[in-house]
Amino acid sequence: MSAMLRAENLYHQVSTGEGPLTLLNNISLQLARGESLAITGASGSGKSTLLGLLAGLDKPTGGRIWLAGEEITRMDEEQRAALRARCVGFVFQTFQLLPGLTALENVMLPSELRGEGGAAKRAGNFLDRVGLSHRLHHYPRQLSGGEQQRVAIARAFASFSGDDGILFADEPTGSLDAANGERVIELLFKLNAESNTTLVLVTHEQRLAERCGVQMRMVAGEIAAGETGSGSLPEVST
């Protein structure tokens, strides 16, 4: 299987008023298409920073990352944005729907940013698949938390323009009650399996992490050895 996501010796540091602060150190990983990875760890362990770097939202201080076969650490911001527009989807803890847009318009947004035609039809299909075909023209403030997250999931899957999709989810159930959280997770994994997309998930919930093929626990910006759950951390070939 070809690697959908690969990171090699990632190292990330930021400047603070009290000097440089190391957020990530010596992170290497590899995921094949269709695989799922759960990143767990305490608050401040570097999970979200790692997720952002893997998705190309920022550049690491050191190390290399390949996404869908392309090395994003050699790309500038514009090139990374173009890659994200093509094959990266996001689900955020606080949904991050644009409040001025309806559910349908929020899901249409990725297609529109790529300049594709038929955005409305495509968005309607995804909303139908998440069970919200009756809420197309509602604004986020008119939807419940669970419904908003389902719109966000529909938007994430609408972000892929081809087969090489990779979904990054940051605490997707963090703002939901247990029942809604469960429903959203079921939906996420169902769509992931149907679309054969790759999934990278940051979560605090062990139960959720266990549903992923690969688990990775982080402590103070490093992968805690021997705590990779039921899956096996793929070897990183250089």
Partner 1 sequence: MLPLKLLFRDWRGGELALIASALVLAVACVTAISHVTDRLARAMQQQSLTFLAAERVLRSSQPVDPAWLQEARERGLQTAQVVQFASMVAAGDQFQFASVKAAGEGYPLLGELEVRDRENGPTHQVQRGPAPGEAWVEPRLLPLLQLHLGESLQLGDTSLKITGLLEREPDRGTSLFDMGARVLVHLQDLPAAGVIQPGSRVRYRYLFAGDDKVLQSYFTWLKPQLTEHQRVIDLRDGQPRVATALERAERFLFLAGSLAVLLAGIAVGLAARRYGLRHTAYVAVMKSLGASRGKVLTIYLGQLTALTLLATAVGLLAGSLIQSQAVALMADVFPVEPPPSRWNPLLVGLATGFACALGFAVAPLVRLARTDPMQTLRRDWSNPDRREWLGLVLGPTSMLILIWWLSGSLAITAALFSGLALLVSGAALVNRLLVRGHLASFGGAWRIALGSLQRRAAFNTLLIAAFGTGLLAMLALVFARTALIDEWRMQLPEKAPNHFLLNIAPHEVEYLRKMLADNRIVSTEIYPMVRGRLVAINGVPVKEIKEKDNALRRELNLSWTETLAPDNRILEGEWWDKVNEGVSVEVELAARLNLSLGDQLRFSVGGLTIEAPVASFRSLNWNSMRPNFYMLFAPGTLEDFPATYITSFYLPPEQKLLINDLVREFPSVSVIELDKIIQSIRDTIGQVSLAIESVLVLMLVAGVLVLLAGVRASISERLQEAAIIRTLGGRRRLLLQSLILEFGLLGAAAGMLAAIGAEATLAVLAQRVFELPLTFHPQLWLLGPLAGALLVGTAGTLACRRSVSQPPLRVLRELA
The residues binding partner 1 (CB under 8 A) are 48-49, 51-52, 55, 57-58, 77-78, 81-86, 88, 90, 92-94, 96, 98-102, 105, 109-110, 112-115, 139, 141, 155, 159, 170
CB-nearer residue toward partner 1: 10 or 88: 88
The number of C-alpha atoms within 13 Å of 221 and in the hemisphere containing its C-beta is: 15
Nearest CA to 153 out of 176, 121, 187, 179 is that of 187
CB-nearer residue toward partner 1: 17 or 99: 99
CB-nearer residue toward partner 1: 15 or 238: 15
Least Å distance, CB 230 to partner 1, is: 26
Between CA 46 and CA 218 the distance in angstroms is: 7
Which residues fall within 8 angstroms of residue 191, CB to CB, at 6 or more apart? 129, 130, 153, 157, 197
Alpha helices (H) along the chain: 47-54, 77-87, 103-114, 119-129, 145-158, 178-195, 206-209
Least Å distance, CB 113 to partner 1, is: 5
Between CA 83 and CA 47 the distance in angstroms is: 22
CB-nearer residue toward partner 1: 120 or 236: 120
Least Å distance, CB 235 to partner 1, is: 28
Least Å distance, CB 82 to partner 1, is: 7
